[in-house]
Amino acid sequence: MSDVRSITDRFFFGATGMDPDRVTDIVTSTLRRADGGELFLQRSMSKSASFGDGRLQSAGESLDQGFGFRFISGESVGYAHSQDLSERTIRSLGSSTKEIRKHADTTLGFMTLPSGVTVPRLYAIDNPLLDISDADRIKILEDVNARARSADPRIIQVTAGVSTGWNVITIIRKDGERFDDVRPMSQLYVEVVAEEAGRKKKGMSILSGRMSLSDVFTHNSWQGAVDNAVRKAIVNLGAIPAPAGEMPVVLANGWAAVMLHESVGHGLEGDAARKNASVYANKIGERVASKGVTIIDQGNIPGARGSLHFDDEGNPTKKNILIEDGILQGYMQDSINARLMGVAPTGNGRRESYQHAPIPRMTTTYMAAGEYTPEEIIASVDRGIYAVDFAGGQVDTVSGSYVFAPTEAYLIENGKIVAPVENAILTGNGPRSMQMVDMVGNDLELSLTGSCGKDGQSVSVGVGQPTVKMRGIKVGGTQPS
């Protein structure tokens, strides 16, 4: 990607006066006695605008740049960061990280990492901030507002926002190898409130991806996003109280996989497994889910929010099969945890920015398709819940216990969807729920709109799944089953 190198050279060396060869020498000499580490250079640019109450509420731009320097000794990490992109500061802060050697329990030797790997281009290098003019951004928000309000007289409030970002990245590792990337991101957010007979309900929709804003609209209709938000709000106006009790739960394809991400995905990250802070620790080769359940984390899906050409350590992203036909195959790994567990890194070392050291994180995590049609799955349920959308949930990765509240759900009776329900609460245990999967649909859909928080860091991710039926899930509601 020589054209990418020209961009990173311009920002990190041409604009700062630093010399790339001298900077590389600083890194390699500083890390000479380290087990690993890197210099992470970042320039982050973003632009956003929001619309509410029938008018433009905010518009702004931001720019941040800096570096992070990491020195790894055994299991210990020395990390320093600064906004000052100069050789003097890099040398000074890099040297300070070597102090970690005094506190490290052991030195394990230099970790061998993949190098010189050619990866296919997953996203464009053009700056998405230049894709659409400020006037056109505002016009988009005005059109979103107008379409939502004209869709149904019960819509009383519309909030919308557009944002674009461009991250320019250079990584120089202990071995002197250099990795350069430019990472675009664009998003449209729509939320509406509907009111009828004193009841108010919300509906939300998001379009996002590693592409320009115009490409987001090309691949995903903004009109469809508005209509979907309106539909959700109107549907929830007619919701009846959810039943309570233990019953089958059918999760819709797509975004409902946020439950999979939270209740299973975090437990499959290498640091949790290595520290025995996961119910999946020490279970490779064991059955941890029903037959037919295959869970994948894939960081090289073109245009996806969670995709990267290489992770924030310089390791190429790829398709990692975590659970195959119910059997645990492995974990998502950064370099440190991979070395300590005696396996190869999987391209999952991610960080929020240059101010943070990388840790194992998900990219796009999904369940593979099965053999049943969605209609067959719904028809198999005598009485249960069909959960379509979630705002999020709470999960204990050590025990696997979860609590999720669907924002769009329906009652199933006699194999048919009969009415929307409200105030349903799903509680259970992620690994046990994976062993109670009865049917996996053939309608896999990826939802590429998420963000994930862990250890104070937020990164962009995606989720996905086909329609899935689980038996015996506890549903908290206001009506007895």
Q: Are residues 230 and 289 located together in one domain of the fold? A: no
Q: Do the beta carbons of residue 457 and residue 404 sit within 8 Å?
A: no
Residue where a domain stops, chosen among 237, 272, 305: 237
What is the residue range of 441's domain?
240-480
Q: Do the beta carbons of residue 251 and residue 465 sit within 8 Å?
A: yes
E strands within 53-177?
55-73, 76-82, 155-173
Tell me the whole-structure pTM to 2 decimals.
0.94
Closest CA to 314 of 197, 169, 205, 432: 169
Give the helix/strand (H/E) hosting 309: none
Q: Residue 114: its pLDDT value, please?
A: 61
What's the pLDDT tens digit per position in 208-266?
999 999 998 887 789 999 999 999 999 999 999 999 999 999 999 999 999 899 889 99
For residue 163, give every residue at least 6 positions away whose Cβ sits within 8 Å of its Cβ, in sequence order, or none: 46, 47, 48, 49, 185, 186, 187, 189
Q: Compute and round to an integer the Cα radius of gyration of the chain.
A: 24
- Pair of tokens at residue 207: 């379009």
Q: Residue 221: its pLDDT value, please?
A: 87
Which amino acid, residue 214? Answer: S
Q: Residue 112: its pLDDT value, please?
A: 58
Q: Are residues 262 and 154 located together in one domain of the fold? A: no
User: What parts of the chain have a pLDDT lower than 70?
Assistant: 1-2, 105-117, 477-481
Give the count of domains, the chain.
2
What's the pLDDT tens digit per position in 108-127?
555 555 666 677 899 999 99
Q: Are residues 418 and 394 located together in one domain of the fold? A: yes
Q: Residue 256: its pLDDT value, please?
A: 92
Give dist(CA 78, CA 149) in Å, integer.
53
Instruction: Give the CATH number of the domain where residue 62 resides.
Output: 3.30.2290.10
Q: Are residues 124 and 268 located together in one domain of the fold? A: no
- Pair of tokens at residue 310: 């290489």
Coil, strand or helix: which one is 175?
A: coil
- Pair of tokens at residue 258: 């946020």
Which amino acid, residue 458? Answer: S
Residue where a domain stops, chosen among 218, 237, 256: 237
Positive or negative torsion for Cα 428, 430, 431, 433 = positive
Q: Residue 477: its pLDDT value, please?
A: 65
What is the strand order of the sheet 178-196 is part of? 76-82, 55-73, 36-52, 155-173, 178-196, 199-209
Q: Do the beta carbons of residue 230 and residue 144 sit within 8 Å?
A: no
Give dist(CA 389, CA 232) in Å, integer.
9
Q: Residue 395: its pLDDT value, please?
A: 81
Residue where a domain stops, chosen among 215, 237, 259: 237
